[in-house]
Amino acid sequence: MLRNVILFFTSVLVALMAGRAFWVWLVENPANLSGTTYVEFFQALDRGIAIPIAVTGIGGTVLAGISAIFSGATARRSIYWSPLAPLVCCQV
């Protein structure tokens, strides 16, 4: 039961982190902004999003590691690699 709860929260946090990275790549590209607009935009954005980004980034990474440890105790080794892949991707 605990393993399933941890896997669920790992999935949610890693998905939120991946979605945020995709949003930055797609929408918040600073190439089309002037220097002043860039600074103003990202200063306002950082005030509101710094804590949620830290929670999803650190929480998703830690929970992926815990999920990998819990999955390593199972008999099926293929399950072990499922949470290990996002753990590696979170570190990149």
pLDDT digit string, tens, across residues 1-50: 787 888 888 888 888 888 888 887 887 777 777 888 888 888 888 888 88
Neighbours of 31 (CB within 10 A): 5
Element (H, E) at 28: none
Neighbours of 8 (CB within 10 A): 12
pLDDT above 70 as % of the chain:
80
Residue 75 is predicted with a pLDDT of 56
Output Rg (C-alpha) for the chain, integer angstroms. Answer: 17
pLDDT in tens, 68-89: 787 776 656 666 666 677 767 7
pTM score: 0.68
Per DSSP, which regions of 1-92 are E strands?
none
